[in-house]
Amino acid sequence: MSEALYPITVEVNGVQRTAQVPARLSLVDWLRDELRLTGTHVGCEHGVCGACSILLDGEAVRACLMYAVQADAHRVTTVEGLAAPDGGLSVLQDSFCEAHGLQCGYCTSGMLVAAQALLDANPRPSDDEIRAAIGGNLCRCTGYQQIVEAIRLAAERLQEKRA
Amino acid sequence: MSASLIGARVQRKEDYRFLTGAGQYTDDVILPHQSYAAFVRSPHAHATIKSIKTDKAKKAPGVLGVYTGEDAAAAKLGGLPCGWLITDVNGQPMKEPPHPVLAQGKVRYVGDQVAVVVAETAEQARDAAELVEVNYDVLPAVVDAAKATQKGAPALHEIAPDNTCYVWALGDKAAVDAAFAKAAHVTKLEFVNNRLIPNAIEPRAANGSYNRAEDGYTLYVANQNPHVERLLMTAFVMGLPEHKVRVVAPDVGGGFGSKIFLYPEDVVVTWASRQLGRPVKWTAERSESFLTDAHGRDHHTIAEMAMDKDGKFVGMRVHTTANLGAYLSTFASAVPTILYATLLSGQYTTPLIYCEVKAVFTNTAPVDALRGAGRPEATYVVERLVETAAREMKLDPTEIRRRNFVRQFPYQTAVALQYDTGNYEATLDAALKMADVAGFAKRKEEAAKRGKLRGLGYAAYIEACGIAPSAVAGSLGARAGLFEAGEIRVHPTGSVTVFTGSHSHGQGHETTFAQVVADRLGLSVENVDIVHGDTSKVLFGMGTYGSRSIAVGGTAIMKALDKIIDKGKKIAAHLMEASEGDVEYDKGIFKVSGTDKQKAFGEIAFAAYVPHNYPHDKLEPGLNENAFYDPSNFTFPAGSYVCEVEIDPDTGQTKIVNFTAVDDFGKIINPMIVEGQVHGGLTHGIGQALTEGCRYDPDSGQLVTGSFTDYCIPRADDVPSYQLDTRETPCTHNPLGVKGCGEAGAIGAPAAVMNAITDALWSMGVKDVPMPATAQTVWKAIQNASKKAA
């Protein structure tokens, strides 16, 4: 009783990836198990914790709530795709380090993705807007305050860069 | 290297891997020939197993093996041990029912593991698990601890027909009763310290493998103390020699206590890997985390404080019923006793305290240590009583505290602990100022104009950390030592690798510990690497819990550094042709006193590994030292929290408008990391106070709050930005002067929040509100009070 497979082509972190996947394979399992992009984490499998957030065509979505087949012909960015090609941290990543916006690191990938999507859409968010934007991402370690500071710091730095 | 690294906001060395997705958590580890396990779990809270049919599952695609309790018994897998023996009021040992790794004839809570299926893929294992047919005879269940000890309640274990594990007491009951008889005023409260589900964002995971060539096992596991895990698993459950088992706790995504314990799944995957000759991996689904991670708290308490006419505490009496769940988890028995009753003196000179604890089995998940472990429960008792007493006696809540503060140290409490140092007035004064308590009346008035109720609440907490002096712990029933180990390996070029038995699962040890070592050796932080979490690399370790890492693990490292420097002095004396007594050491420089002769640390390291000019007659080459440290006392972090809330009486919604925390953690190595620890702890505590409440259905024993949509851990928009400050009285008995900071917030916050809520509602006649104070709960309290008033 082998499962039917479906062909998909997905741009993942700038690279075209093709695969044959069963219909029930979730996008996050495909990224983690097949592509070995284990930076995207699974926290709840029911779309509530946000740990598995990725960017789909630039928008933050939960990879546990999508099937891999649904990503066909789309563009996916995972946490592994946020740094510069030489491994240098992005302004956002570096701001998380400077403001201590992470502890155990497990929710961090999803937080970065949510923050990236926020800053792309709203370069000058207020603290309330930041808290709302990461309101779908659970963190048990930080109490969120230093995450908010990190995102605010990144916004300021990106402003300076643009100026 | 002149600036001190102690107290510096050094950015974390571990961040790069987490920020780029390069962290390696247990579920990220895929071994060659990996197979996957799924557990068949009980859908009933209490049932006997009449039969288990596995033939369909065994024939399902990809299935490699299916095992039940019978297989575990045949393999002589022992039950999971409890690490702390409590002796009851009659001098009898606590009841220790068997805790099988796979159910033996009976299941005792929803989620109890009945069988395991191992398959080529996780999906195949889950599919096949659904084909295991278990025929149950469902029994009546009991989930409430008070009901479990009533006559006629269903008995979980043969060994404990009344479901009582122990009745334990601390203190002189007769003397306390006499103090109450003479008291000018007695304040009495009855409340539940709500049951919590830990919910680290990384679910538990375990990946066991057996290597036939080495005749040894490796277990990757999301765990806070790999050596303890190994000791318990090998010596008590599997009957294996420890040296044949390597336990690796790689990056771990939060623990909060829930990953201290040896869980059945850890044993089963390790054992199954040998049966199948394949690595076996299991990763919990979130629903399994809710059902089977050891829960926390769940106390029902009647607490009384007796005072003289001036509000001076003369006696305290506490009766607690603690829910242990269905089985004794690893340190379950110590939490509502040794880690609870001993903290009931709080920051006060209460001369007589009596505490009686009845610990009870119920058809719920095992209950064990969760961030704070006993100390949040104790602080809640003390600080709710103190604040209520002040209101009843019409004293300012800060004034009643000042009248009772411990001011002379060391201070011997009535409940066995000796506080070494502290300055409770200093943190309180700072907190009052920072929270602008003076301006509160005005803010309350302004809120009232908008139809809102404002309240101000305090908590002055103390905790016992740096667990623990082994001899003391042993005399209280601990079945393990509670020291820590550290090793310093200096490399020929002068860089250093440090091995610690502490484990970091978010706390930032790779940075904090590197700061300590780099500061002492005059190195940059980049030249010091910290290794933890692997029994094959680290010599030994008791792990991380109870805010012990820097106080105990850090001190072990300091002691190893002492040895490195002692040997370095001998080498330096030889190289500089001086007598050893004339060599002074400071931050990486060995100097001959009174001369300009000196050698840098790197030169000494090089000489130790390239010993051409070396005192071979007196010294071995190389520079590598280890040390074990057993603390002489606990450490006593303490602080003052002020919470200001605004309640909407129409909806019952509580908003924290300001939260101020002033802590005394002794010396602080990295303030940035400490602030993060406090923020996280406070949020955990606010979660307990406002949003988190585990519920089981009282009849069926089903977990009602079994997902993130029913059990609400705080989100970013549920909590405020906190105002923090610190005061410093260095710990007197460790060389760094450190006390620990990881649990403080979770210990102090619930009482501060609930004191603020009851302050807001006091004038309406509301004396107590149960946790979690959800909008519905607060609204009901307001409605009931209005009805009474009408």
- State ipTM: 0.98
Q: Which residues pair with A53 in a beta bridge?
A: A62
**What's the pLDDT tens digit per position in B676-685?**
999 999 999 9
Q: How far apart are CA B253 and CA A41, in angstroms?
A: 10
Give the three-class secondary structure for A80.
helix
Which of B245, B271, B292 delimits the end of a domain?
B292
Give the three-class secondary structure for A57.
coil
CB distance B199–A140 less than 8 Å?
yes
Q: How far apart are CA A115 and CA A120, in angstroms?
A: 8
Instruction: Judge if the upstream peptide bond of residue B772 is cis by omega within 30 degrees of 0.
Output: yes
Q: How far apart are CA A28 and CA B305, in angstroms?
A: 55
- Beta pairing, strands A59-62 & A53-56: antiparallel
CB distance B721–A112 less than 8 Å?
no
B729 and B752 co-located in one domain: yes
If you average pLDDT over residues B338-347, what whole number do you get? 98
Please name each of the domains of chain A with its CATH number.
Answer: 5-82 (3.10.20.30), 91-162 (1.10.150.120)
Q: What share of chain A is helix, strand, coil (3-state, %, to 5)?
A: 40, 20, 45
Count of CA atoms in the C-beta half-sphere (13 A) of A3: 13
CB distance A96–B15 less than 8 Å?
yes
Q: Rg of chain A's alpha carbons, rounded to an integer?
A: 16
How many independent structural domains does chain B possess?
Answer: 3
Q: How far apart are CA A35 and CA A28, in angstroms?
A: 10
Chain A residues closer than 8 Å to B12 by CB:
97, 100
Q: B513 exposed, middle or buried (CB, 10 Å; 0-12, 13-18, 19+)?
A: buried
Instruction: Please check whether residue B73 lies inside any domain of the structure.
Output: yes
Helices (H) and strands (E) counted in chain B, each on its own, are 20, 28
First vs last C-alpha separation in chain B: 72
Instruction: Judge if the upstream peptide bond of residue B492 is cis by omega within 30 degrees of 0.
Output: no
pLDDT of A15 strictly over 90: yes
The answer, for A124 touching chain B at a CB cutoff of 8 Å, is no
Is the pTM of the predicted complex or chain greater than 0.80? yes
CB distance B20–A146 less than 8 Å?
no
Q: Determine the residue among B10, B12, B15 to mutate to test chain A binding: the one whose Cβ has the most chain A Cβ atoms within 10 Å.
A: B15
CB distance B721–A148 less than 8 Å?
yes
Q: Which pLDDT band holds residue B788 (cuts at 50, 70, 90)? A: confident
Distance from CA of A163 to the nearest CA of B (A): 26
Q: Rg of chain B's alpha carbons, rounded to an integer?
A: 27
Instruction: Please check whether residue B671 lies inside any domain of the structure.
Output: yes
Q: How far apart are CA B352 and CA A94, in angstroms?
A: 54
Instruction: Please check whether residue B76 lies inside any domain of the structure.
Output: yes
Count of CA atoms in the C-beta half-sphere (13 A) of A49: 28
Per-residue model confidence (pLDDT) at position A163? 83
Nearest CA in chain B to A132: B717
Chain B residues closer than 8 Å to A47 by CB:
none
Neighbouring residues of B751: CB distance < 8 A, sequence distance ≥ 6: B379, B380, B382, B383, B384, B387, B457, B459, B461, B641
Q: Are B287 and B706 in contact (CB under 8 A)?
A: yes
Instruction: Please check whether residue B7 lies inside any domain of the structure.
Output: no
Cβ atoms within 10 A of the Cβ of A122, count?
A: 13
B288 and B310 co-located in one domain: no
Domain holding B94: CATH number? 3.90.1170.50
Instruction: Please check whether residue B424 lies inside any domain of the structure.
Output: yes
pLDDT of B248 strictly over 80: yes
Chain B residues closer than 8 Å to A128 by CB:
717
CB distance B17–A41 less than 8 Å?
no
**What's the pLDDT tens digit per position in A121-148?**
999 999 999 999 999 999 999 999 999 9
Q: How far apart are CA B367 and CA B292, in angstroms?
A: 10
Per-residue model confidence (pLDDT) at position B539? 96
- Round the average pLDDT of chain B to a whole number and report it: 97
Instruction: Please check whether residue B158 lies inside any domain of the structure.
Output: no
**What's the pLDDT tens digit per position in B637-672?**
999 999 999 999 999 999 999 999 999 999 999 999
Which of B594, B629, B664 delimits the end of a domain?
B629
Q: How far apart are CA B760 and CA B747, in angstroms?
A: 22
If you average pLDDT over residues B596-608, what whole number do you get? 97
B554 and B406 co-located in one domain: no
**What's the pLDDT tens digit per position in A143-157?**
999 999 999 999 999
**What part of A 53-82 touches B (C-beta under 8 Å)?**
78-80, 82
Nearest CA in chain A to B60: A1
SS (H, E, C) B682-751: HHHHHHHHHHCCCCECCCCCCECCCCCCCCCCCCHHHCCCCEEEECCCCCCCCCCCECCCCCHHHHHHHH
B570 and B611 co-located in one domain: yes
B109 and B238 co-located in one domain: yes
Q: Which pLDDT band holds residue A162 (cuts at 50, 70, 90)? A: confident
B133 and B233 co-located in one domain: yes
Q: How many residues does chain B have?
A: 790
Q: For residue B531, give both structure tokens.
A: 């290794």
Instruction: Judge if the upstream peptide bond of residue A19 is cis by omega within 30 degrees of 0.
Output: no
**What's the pLDDT tens digit per position in B547-571?**
999 999 999 999 999 999 999 999 9
- Beta pairing, strands B205-211 & B216-221: antiparallel
SS (H, E, C) A121-163: HCCCCCHHHHHHHCCCCCCCCCCCHHHHHHHHHHHHHHHHHHC
CB distance B506–A141 less than 8 Å?
yes
Nearest to B331 by CA among B476, B461, B464, B234: B476
CB distance B684–A104 less than 8 Å?
no
Q: Are B72 and B100 in contact (CB under 8 A)?
A: yes
**What's the pLDDT tens digit per position in B729-786?**
999 999 999 999 999 999 999 999 999 999 999 999 999 999 999 999 999 999 999 8
Q: How far apart are CA B155 and CA A144, in angstroms?
A: 44
Per-residue model confidence (pLDDT) at position B563? 98
B659 and B769 co-located in one domain: yes
Helix axes A145-162, A91-98, angle to 10 degrees: 140
Which of B629, B645, B668 delimits the end of a domain?
B629
If you average pLDDT over residues B332-351, what whole number do you get? 98
CB distance A40–B21 less than 8 Å?
yes
CB distance A143–B680 less than 8 Å?
yes
Q: Which pLDDT band holds residue B1 (cuts at 50, 70, 90)? A: very low
Question: Which domain covers residue B119, as residue numbers?
Answer: 17-139+202-253+259-292
Q: Are B262 and B233 in contact (CB under 8 A)?
A: yes
Q: How far apart are CA A96 and CA B16, in angstroms?
A: 10
The answer, for A28 touching chain B at a CB cutoff of 8 Å, is no
If you average pLDDT over residues B202-207, what whole number do you get? 98
Distance from CA of B127 to the nearest CA of A (A): 12
Distance from CA of B58 to the nearest CA of A (A): 15
Per-residue model confidence (pLDDT) at position B671? 98
CA dihedral in degrees (B232, B233, B237, B242; nearest 10)? -90
B690 and B554 co-located in one domain: no
Q: ∠ at Cα A102 (A98, A103), nearest 5°?
A: 120
B352 and B421 co-located in one domain: yes
B624 and B637 co-located in one domain: no
If you average pLDDT over residues B384-395, what whole number do you get? 98
Q: Are B775 and B479 in contact (CB under 8 A)?
A: no
Domain holding B706: CATH number? 3.30.365.10
Nearest CA in chain A to B722: A145
Q: How far apart are CA B639 and CA B648, in angstroms?
A: 29
B411 and B327 co-located in one domain: yes
Edge-to-edge strands, sheet with B484-490: B528-531, B496-500, B484-490, B624-629
The answer, for B2 touching chain A at a CB cutoff of 8 Å, is no
Task: Give the nearest partner residue to B251 out of A80, A105, A146, using CB atoms.
Answer: A105
Q: For residue B196, give both structure tokens.
A: 């919590």
Nearest to B643 by CA among B737, B720, B717, B703: B720
Q: Are B220 and B29 in contact (CB under 8 A)?
A: yes
Q: How far apart are CA B120 and CA B198, in angstroms?
A: 31
Per-residue model confidence (pLDDT) at position B789? 80
Instruction: Please check whether residue B235 lies inside any domain of the structure.
Output: yes
Chain B residues closer than 8 Å to A93 by CB:
19-20
pLDDT of B3 strictly over 80: no
B559 and B580 co-located in one domain: yes
pLDDT of B2 strictly over 60: no
Instruction: Please check whether residue B185 lies inside any domain of the structure.
Output: no
CB pairs A-B closer than 8 Å:
179
Q: How far apart are CA B583 and CA B578, in angstroms?
A: 7
The answer, for A140 touching chain B at a CB cutoff of 8 Å, is yes
Q: How far apart are CA B591 and CA A28, in angstroms?
A: 59
Q: Determine the residue among B14, B16, B17, B19 to mutate to test chain A binding: the one whose Cβ has the most chain A Cβ atoms within 10 Å.
A: B19
Per-residue model confidence (pLDDT) at position B338? 96
